[in-house]
Amino acid sequence: MKLKEYLKFNNISNKDFSEKIGISAVSLSRYISGDRLPEKSIINKIHHITDKLVSANDFYIEDGDSQILSKVQKTKVDDIHKKLVKGEKKSLAKAITLIESSLGFHQLESDYLLSKIKANNNTIRIGITGVPGVGKSTFIESFGMRLINLGLKVSVLAVDPSSKTTGGSILGDKTRMMRLSVNKNAFIRPSPSQGHLGGVAKKTSDSILCLEQAGFDIIFVETMGVGQAETSVYDMVDIFLVLLLPAGGDELQGIKKGIIEMADLIIVNKADGNLKKLANLTMQEYKNAQNLISNNRKDITPEVLTCSSIEEIGLEDVWSFIKKFVKRRKKNNLFYETRKNQKVNAIWSNLNTKMEDYLNNEKKLLKMWKMKI
């Protein structure tokens, strides 16, 4: 809600309100008229004092023409896109920042950017899940470096909407992926800051499009196998890998029920040192239980492999399976069909998210009415 509307509705004078925030009445009227944008701390104060009814977006989006990009914005996005096509990482980061932003005018810019991006079916989107500590990041580091040595460009996104410490995860991901994080053919982007899952999922699938536009051949999407993010990751990738520890059944491993059923490839990681024997046993157990694993894809049976991400053993077999999987699904068209369906689903879920946002805004109005009564 615009500040102007709020003040009018509640019969508060500019002078009284500016005193409450600790700014001059002149500054306030500039903010109201849109001549100037308040800085973040002022926006926060206004947000707080208005009981969250007026938020950052309300200062950026103009009424009437709000859905139209200005010339300056268009030029800015055109420039980002041009550099993105050339694979410039700085522009890639800028593009993803636009996508992740919840500010209305950024959303307009990112929608425009996405409209310029053409689909690229030559990439492989790989989802990776597994409980914390199973070795997902270490696996991506070793496997990713191997793919880079084959001449491919590799990128990594993380989806973890429950994470409260984005700072921590940036540090964690980058230190676990030391070699990738400094390689010119790699790009790592940690989780977008928390939000509701629908929003995070949309941001991630849009970020995938940017990575593809920037020439990345392989896109890893890492998620923890304990929350609700897995199904949404499954819905944005071509192949879904589940990493397991060398240990007993999946209940014992703490992995969420139903995740094994989604796996295209089960990998028992840490098959080295003392754990090697147990890893082989675990693999056998899962192979034996394969008839219990409902066959998610009609055309290809999931496989179970072991690997050591640290000693870099077994990674070749993982790559062979992925190549075989993609080749077969391209031949029978399911690769393309799945991507198409995913796109349609993403549009619907985006619509849902937008509806939710809209309803939340309506709720704010209702709250204000109730406060008046």
Residue 278 interacts with ligand GTP (CB under 6 A): yes or no: no
Return the number of the residue (124 or 243) whose C-beta is nearest ligand GTP: 243
Is residue 173 within 8 Å of residue 158, measured between CB atoms?
A: yes
69 binds, among ligand GTP, Mg ion, none (CB under 5 to 8 A by kind): none
Residue 272 interacts with ligand GTP (CB under 6 A): yes or no: yes
Q: Which range binds ligand GTP by CB under 6 A, 26-34, 198-206, 307-315, 322-330?
A: 307-315
Return the number of the residue (139 or 335) whose C-beta is nearest ligand GTP: 139
Interface pick for ligand GTP out of 95, 224, 233, 244 (rule CB under 6 A): 224
Return the number of the residue (91 or 138) whose C-beta is nearest Mg ion: 138
Return the number of the residue (94 or 136) whose C-beta is nearest ligand GTP: 136
The DSSP code for 117 is: P
- Residues 241-272 as b/e (b if ≥16 CB within 10 A, e otherwise) read bbbbbbbeebeebebbeebbebbbbbbbbbbb
Pattern 120-139, ligand GTP, x by CB under 6 A: ----------x-xxxxxxx-
248 binds, among ligand GTP, Mg ion, none (CB under 5 to 8 A by kind): none
Q: Which residue has the tokens 């010339």?
A: 71
Main-chain phi, psi angles of 202, to 5 degrees: -65, -45
Is residue 241 within 8 Å of residue 263, measured between CB atoms?
A: yes
* Least CB distance to ligand GTP at residue 139 (A): 6
Q: Which range binds ligand GTP by CB under 6 A, 67-75, 77-85, 115-123, 269-277?
A: 269-277
Distance of CA 44 to CAs 47, 52, 54, 59, 333, Å?
5, 9, 10, 12, 51
153 binds, among ligand GTP, Mg ion, none (CB under 5 to 8 A by kind): none
Q: How many CB atoms lie within 10 A of CB 97?
A: 15
List the interface residues with Mg ion, window 129-188 (CB under 5 A).
136-137
List the interface residues with ligand GTP, window 63-102 (CB under 6 A).
none
The string of DSSP codes covering 165-194 is: -HHHHHHHHHHHTHHHHH-TTEEEE-PPPP
Work out the end-to-end distance of the chain between its first and last CA atoms, rounded to an integer number of angstroms. Answer: 19
Binding site for Mg ion (CB under 5 A): 136-137
Residues that bind ligand GTP (CB under 6 A): 130, 132-138, 176, 224, 269-270, 272, 308-310
